Amino acid sequence: MNKIPLTRPFFDEKEINEIRNVLDSGWVAGQGPENKKLEKEFSEYIGVNYSVCSSNCTTALHLSLIALGIKKHDEVIVPDYTFPATAHAVLYCGAIPIFVDINKKTYNVDANLIEEKITKKTKAIIPVHAFGQCADMDAILKIAKKYNLKVIEDAACAVGSKYKGKKAGSMGDTGCFSFHARKNITSGEGGMITSNDKELIDNIRSLSCFGMESAFSRDKKFSIPEFTKLGYNYKLSDIAAAVALVQLRRSEEYIKKRNELAEYYNKKLKNIKSVTVPFTEKFNKHVFQSYVILLDKKINRNDVIAKLNEKGIQTQIGTYALHKQPVYKNITNCEEKDFPNAEFVYNQSLALPMYHKMKLSDVDEVVLALKEVLRE
């Protein structure tokens, strides 16, 4: 076991008490009372009218795409540098992900490159808020309006992140969030879809529950439910919702601590010539779901990960360049030369330990170990 892990969720008696309350209530399945509480408070926190819980962010993306009418042979713009779930959700619809290179400073999609990838088949854009920093939403929304495209924010890493005062998940047609164990707030697994469109949200809620109305929501009188559309079992359990609700109420505390850790990392790493620390746009509020640095191109990043692990420091790559992944071969037309920034960041990014109970002395230890490895 690593002395300093990459991440470590924080729970205390509050989560345990809420789990006990749910178990005692007898309602542990999805779309129950704890789901309703979480959806209400999450909507208020993000600044939208409606939210729907889902089993994870991938299912949130899938539900959003289906509800927004994405179908077979449609094209959806996706940043090349993201976790594969973003493009997988497009494939689930029979649609085609069209990859776009990123801005090497922010790790987010380069909005200047989007228009050249748009065709008559393009129906949507999925901007990803990489590692907790919002993409260039003004430019993306302007393009979407020009070409009549839907916008689905992949805010998996961005609970609480802001772009020019607006929270991630409040700017597109939908926002999709993750409560995975590595995220700022977690219920182990889980997700959320946000929107200001009631009709869209009602459709998503039904789609997440087999294409029917949930048992908890139905009239207390006996009635036989009807399955009005082909839906899915993408619900979030009330046990997980109760945990996520406690975590949500701590979200600003978590963000404050992560920014303090990021600032300290920046200070300790700034004089290492072979390291580039994360860049934050001045109008953004970064939540640092991950603290991801770039190593000089002459450094073998994978060797650094292995050597740090030997010293008890767990690190990881940032995320993936999708055009390099075999699953997308022959699905979308793209050449490696089209993604120089995504390729570089994929090869040279290094996620350093970042978690709520991490101490500044732990950062000192990580930085010292990194310096030693880079000198070898």
CA-to-CA dists, residue 251 to 3, 5, 45, angstroms? 26, 21, 10
Sheet with strand 50-54: strands edge to edge:
50-54, 191-195, 174-178, 150-154, 122-125, 75-79, 96-100
- The verdict on whether 146 is a catalytic residue reads no
Residue from 109, 53, 111, 64 nearest 90 by CA:
64
Which alpha helices (H) appear in the chain, and where do they start and end? 13-25, 33-46, 57-67, 85-92, 137-147, 198-207, 238-249, 251-269, 301-310, 340-348, 360-375
DSSP string across 53-85: EESSHHHHHHHHHHHTT--TT-EEEEESBS-TH
AA letter at 321: A
Residue from 311, 46, 291 nearest 161 by CA:
46
The active-site residue out of 123, 150, 167, 183 is 183
Q: What share of the chain is helix, strand, coil (3-state, %, to 5)?
A: 40, 15, 45
What the block records as the tokens of 209 is 């529950």
- The residues annotated with a catalytic role in the active site are 183
